[in-house]
Amino acid sequence: MKNYSILSCFLALSLSVFSAFAQLSVGVQGGYVKNYLNTSTGYLVSTQYAPATGFSIGIPIRYSVNKWLAFQVEPQLIQKNYRLNRTGSLDGLYQTTTNQYLQLPIMGHFSFGGARLKGFMNLGGYAGYWATSTNQGALFAFSPQLEDETDESDALPDYLLQKFNESYTFDGRKDRRLEIGLLAGTGIGYQAGRYNFFVEGRYYYALSDQQKNYMINQIPRYNQTYALQVGCLYQLTLR
């Protein structure tokens, strides 16, 4: 009976300490994104991949365990874009790919500093769904010369530069639309009453290839994404 009383007191004390610090915060964030496609041009000549910018918006939900530890999930829409440039004799041709992902980061939130101004670090992973993709750019279009043209200076060129902008149709045989990866972030936050304003730099590293294993000797394609975001959380105290 005595052991049960001690256990009950211990549980009651633990719950009181936990409830004193346990807090739920909900907010909004948005930011600037720069994505790199980690791949190789392989057999493609006069071709280079370059990073492209985009944006992210999300709803961070943070559950604080104590003054320095919290857990956070952040449903978000994030762009992971990239650009393909042609060089040499093909200079002027390009293709910019705009990819939109629905993504769910899950992370541990570690903070340090004073009561109002704090630094923090986020570590965790994420799962994302490749929702849409659009390609736009410029390519050469063949244009035959006019047969009755006598002045060579006025003749049409063999090729004309043609712009395009089109939605990509996913192929279930080769496109892997589920992306799994790791994340790390660091930033600074300012507590003003129940509001927490923050600035964070974050890095997403994809572990999954954009492609399924559909052919021999295929070249993998991985996203590496940097984000600079600002946001605000509103604190809901659980007591």
Query: Which among 119, 120, 128 is positioned nearest to 182, based on CA atoms?
Result: 128
Eight-state DSSP code of residue 193 = T
> Cα–Cα distance between 139 and 189 in angstroms, integer?
47
In a domain, 27, yes or no: yes
CB 37 within 8 A of CB 223: yes
Banded pLDDT at 146 (limits 50, 70, 90): very low
In a domain, 103, yes or no: yes
Any idea of the CA torsion for 171, 173, 179, 181, to the nearest 10 degrees? -140
CATH number for 220: 2.40.160.20
Kindly report the number of other CB atoms within 10 A of residue 235's CB atom. Answer: 16
Domain count, the chain: 1
> Which one-letter DSSP state was computed for residue 92?
T
pTM for the full predicted model: 0.82
Residue 4 within a domain: no
What integer is the mean pLDDT of 105-109? 98
Of 37, 64, 197, the residue nearest 133 (C-alpha): 37
Contact status, residue 229 vs residue 31, Cβ threshold 8 Å: yes
Task: List pLDDT tens digits, range 210-236.
Answer: 999 888 888 899 999 999 999 999 998
What are the pLDDT digits (tens) for 66-87? 989 999 999 999 999 999 998 8
CB 48 within 8 A of CB 87: yes
**SS3 category, 191:** strand
Residue 186 in any domain: the answer is yes
In a domain, 167, yes or no: yes
User: Per-residue b/e over 118-147, b at no fewer than 16 CB within 10 Å?
Assistant: bebebebebebebeebeeebebeeeeeeee
Domain assignment of residue 7, yes or no = no
The domain of 183 spans 20-143+156-237
Residues 6+ apart with CB under 8 A from 60: 25, 26, 27, 28, 29, 72, 73, 74, 231, 233
Q: Which residue would you say has higher pLDDT here, 188 or 217? A: 188
> 153: helix, coil or strand?
helix
Beta strands 94-113 and 82-86, pairing class? antiparallel
The size of the chain, in residues, is 239
For the chain, helix (H) and strand (E) counts, in that order, are 1, 12
Q: Is 141 helix (H, G, I), strand (E, B) or coil?
A: strand
**In the prediction, which pLDDT does 138 show?**
87
Does the pLDDT at position 151 exceed 80? no
